[in-house]
Amino acid sequence: MTRPGDPGHAAAARAVAGARGAGDVAGGVAPEDADPSRDVPKGRAPWTLRRRLLTLVAGLLVAMGVVIGVAAVVQVHTASVARLDASLRAAAERADSATGSGIPTDPSATVREFLSVPGQPDGTLGGIFVGQLSDAAYIAEGELLPAGPAALAALADVPVDREVHTIRAGELGEYRSLTIETAPGVRIVLALPLAEVTAQTAQLTITVAIVAVAGLAFVLGIGSFVVRRALAPLEQVTATAQAVSERPLDRGDVDLDERVAVEDPRTEVGRLGTAFNRMLGHVASALSAREQSERKVRRFVADASHELRTPLASIRGYAELTRMHGGALPDDVVHALGRIESESVRMTELVEDLLLLARLDEGRDLVDDEVDLGALLVDAVADAQVAGPDHDWSVELPDVPVVVPGDRARLHQVVGNLLANARVHTPAGTSVGATLSTDATRATISVADDGPGIDPDVRETLFERFARGDSSRSRRAGSTGLGLAIVRAVVEAHHGSVEVASESGRTVFTVRLPLAPPSAPAVE
């Protein structure tokens, strides 16, 4: 039985704990709490290397496409406006030639005159300003139409500097305009529409956007294929590492035969795969050496335990014989013989426990039988009540029998160890209860007491061999220090689990075992 404060056999503890410690170091099963995926926020897609690369490529392509597209659109728009300005200057020269250098008396006739000059493009807007007189018209599908007040006001605001300016002529839209002075006080304003240039620019912008989106989709498709192909060895490394991480490496003969296929060891990915394979080889060698060391230790413990049985039995027998026929031996000699006898009994129990653990470590098959856990609990509690009459014992069973496959003697030892553990480490008057329950696939045995509880600092090592909660090296109540280690070993050999929950005033040990499969109905 083991609880904090129980000392252990020093030499055997060093041998067994050393082998187990080597397994813990060489093993590689990380606890569930160390899983990094638990820290990843849920609902957010992981930023894998492939995703980051494709996002970076897409961002660069979008930035480059925007720069090129804007530059192209601006360049084409500027060139179109320049051509329009050239046409405007040519139209202004034709209008200047048509009006001459005199002062017109009829502005409307003058406007029609210079707008009717051959070569004036459709949409041309013209106006003349002579003192307080003014008029404006524009060409629409070959006909001259009068311009509205808004267009006339916009033309009037164009400065006389022979520079081209952009105006908005009311509902006619935007124009490029130029003012020439044909005579003192006489201004002719000519304007060409920007509608066609604006339409061409808009069409070019749409075309560039469509081409950019199509090109981006094409490049991303090709890039995704290339990146996936380039990162395939990394995915293989990940899959191999995941497979290795899911293997129980803490005990037994572990065969790490997984390796990563390396296409070209000169590349970065190839060097990673080569290094990973080399690391797996080193780990496999270390695990093999650990297993050989553990096998030697187990063989030593089993052989030593087996060989110690006979001399211990002889010591005990001779001590009993001497005490029975000692006659008038002094009291101190009789006391010494009693101590020899009791210590030989305790040493025999220790040897038997070590031998059992060694056999379980070697994976020897247990007796496979159907065990009625209800009857087993009743017997175990009855035995505990005889051993500890100063405790209050109780047992709670379901209404139907609970049967599990396994070794009845070993399962009885599990329950007996848990009950003895509660008896030894709690004061008189403590209530100890054993409860049996089931669910769909498992049977659950709970042993609870209302004692002082277990120190949280040593709870994690409670099921280890020779675990102690203090530096004491005495064995109170004859405990071997292996009781709970045997509980865990036997339960795991039955494909079950054991755990403990403790607080001040309540400690519960819970054992879960798989139920026996239902019997097939007889065929008549």
DSSP string covering 426-480, please? Answer: S-TT-EEEEEEEE-SSEEEEEEEE-SS---GGGGGGTTSTT--SSS----GGG--
Number of domains forming the structure of the chain: 3
Are 212 and 102 in a shared domain?
Answer: yes
Say which range, 165-179, 206-220, 510-524, has the weakest mean pLDDT. Answer: 510-524
Reading the block at residue 30, the tokens are: 């990380």
In a domain, 327, yes or no: yes
pTM, full prediction: 0.47
Are 386 and 491 in a shared domain?
Answer: yes
CA–CA distance, 11 with 186 (Å, rounded to integer): 123
pLDDT, greater one: 295 or 395: 395
**Tens of pLDDT, residues 124-137:** 888 888 766 578 88
pLDDT, greater one: 393 or 226: 393
In a domain, 522, yes or no: no
Reading the block at residue 468, the tokens are: 């102690």
Maximum CA extent, the chain? 165
Are 381 and 351 in a shared domain?
Answer: no
Are 128 and 104 in contact by the 8 Å Cβ rule? The answer is: yes
- For position 295, what pLDDT does the model report? 72
Average pLDDT over residues 477-485: 68
CA dihedral 517, 520, 521, 524 (to 10 degrees): -160
**Is pLDDT at 250 greater than 80 in this prediction?**
no
Are 352 and 392 in a shared domain?
Answer: no
In a domain, 390, yes or no: yes
**Is pLDDT at 274 greater than 70 in this prediction?**
yes
Are 391 and 351 in a shared domain?
Answer: no
- For position 45, what pLDDT does the model report? 62
Q: What is the domain range of residue 326?
A: 13-26+262-359
In a domain, 389, yes or no: yes
Are 224 and 299 in a shared domain?
Answer: no
Among 201, 223, 248, identify where a domain stops. 248
Are 414 and 511 in contact by the 8 Å Cβ rule? The answer is: yes
Q: In the β-sheet with 133-140, what is the strand arrangement from edge to edge?
A: 143-146, 133-140, 125-130, 186-193, 174-183, 165-168
In a domain, 140, yes or no: yes
In a domain, 35, yes or no: no
**Is pLDDT at 474 greater than 50 in this prediction?**
no
- For position 243, what pLDDT does the model report? 79
Q: Which helix (H) or strand (E) holds 130?
A: strand 125-130
**Is pLDDT at 519 greater than 80 in this prediction?**
no
Are 422 and 472 in a shared domain?
Answer: yes
**Tens of pLDDT, residues 78-120:** 999 999 889 888 878 877 776 555 555 555 666 677 777 677 7
Own/partner long-range contacts of 82-87 (Cβ < 8 Å, ≥24 apart) = 84/176, 84/192, 84/194, 84/197, 85/164, 85/176, 87/121, 87/192
CATH at residue 17 = 1.10.287
* DSSP string across 282-294: HHHHHHHHHHHHH
CA–CA distance, 89 with 75 (Å, rounded to integer): 21
Are 131 and 230 in a shared domain?
Answer: yes
Say which range, 37-41, 291-295, 428-432, 506-510, has the weakest mean pLDDT. Answer: 37-41
In a domain, 1, yes or no: no
Are 401 and 321 in a shared domain?
Answer: no
**Tens of pLDDT, residues 348-397:** 777 777 777 777 776 666 777 888 999 999 999 999 999 899 999 999 99
Rounded to the nearest 10 degrees, the angle between the axes of helix 195-245 and helix 268-324 is 30
Are 172 and 55 in a shared domain?
Answer: yes
Are 333 and 385 in a shared domain?
Answer: no
In a domain, 121, yes or no: yes
Are 405 and 341 in a shared domain?
Answer: no
Average pLDDT, the chain: 77
CATH at residue 474 = 3.30.565.10
Reading the block at residue 494, the tokens are: 């039955």
- For position 447, what pLDDT does the model report? 94
